[in-house]
């Protein structure tokens, strides 16, 4: 390992982060579930839910994973499964190329907020200063819930679907 990390503590830290990321990402691998639908949206949903579950199981490791380039064999295999299904469904290559970044951009941002040491509750907005936010605050309840996650995930997938139709 010393040779691979060039003997530096920074190199050792990177190697350790990569090893931990790889192990944790192994929990997310979708793989060919027996009888599971093979449509790209189903694969994206399964991947997203497994990624969410992993983030909640490993809230201290998850922020490290987010900062690492995910080019490991496990990560690339999961992305390959998604983009192969998208291409098989006739999704334009530009949309299929962008979709993993869009999906994981949402997942990483949302899950970092939800797995923080003290995830924030919806604040009491001053209706005079922020009438729109105050009016919508009741709809923001359930921060971090599976229902909220599913709703936002469907918005992301709808955007990808819409992009593939244009």
CATH number at residue 78: 1.10.357.10
Question: Which one, of 160, 70, 158, 163, lies nearest residue 108 by Cα?
Answer: 70
Cβ(91)–Cβ(40) below 8 Å: yes
Domain that holds residue 116: 12-165
Give the model's pLDDT for residue 118: 73
Q: Does any domain span residue 4?
A: no
Q: How confident is the model at residue 89 (pLDDT cuts 50, 70, 90)?
A: very high
The verdict on pTM exceeding 0.85 is: no
Q: Does any domain span residue 43?
A: yes
Q: What is the pLDDT of residues 109-128, one digit of tens each?
A: 999 999 887 766 788 899 99
Question: Which one, of 122, 123, 117, lies nearest residue 148 by Cα?
Answer: 122
Q: Does any domain span residue 1?
A: no
Q: What is the pLDDT of residues 29-83, one digit of tens each?
A: 755 566 666 899 999 999 999 999 999 999 988 888 888 777 888 888 889 999 9
**Could you give the CA distance from residue 37 to residue 30 in angstroms, rounded to a whole number?**
12
Q: Does any domain span residue 7?
A: no
How many domains would you assign to the chain? Answer: 1
């Amino acid at each position: 390992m010393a040779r691979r990390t060039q003997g530096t503590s920074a190199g050792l830290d990177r190697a350790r982060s990569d090893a931990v990321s790889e192990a944790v990402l192994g929990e997310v691998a979708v793989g060919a579930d027996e009888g599971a639908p093979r449509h790209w949206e189903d694969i994206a949903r399964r991947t997203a839910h497994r990624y969410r579950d992993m983030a909640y199981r490993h809230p201290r490791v998850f922020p490290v994973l987010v900062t690492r380039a995910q080019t490991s064999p496990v990560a690339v295999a999961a992305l390959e499964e998604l983009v192969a299904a998208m291409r098989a469904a006739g999704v334009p290559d530009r949309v299929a190329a962008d979709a993993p970044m869009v999906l994981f951009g949402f997942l990483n941002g949302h899950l970092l907020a939800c797995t923080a040491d003290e995830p924030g509750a919806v604040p009491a907005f001053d209706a005079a200063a922020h009438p729109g936010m105050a009016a919508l605050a009741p709809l923001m309840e359930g921060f971090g819930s599976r229902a909220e996650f599913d709703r936002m995930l469907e918005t992301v997938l709808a955007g990808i679907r819409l992009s593939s139709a244009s």
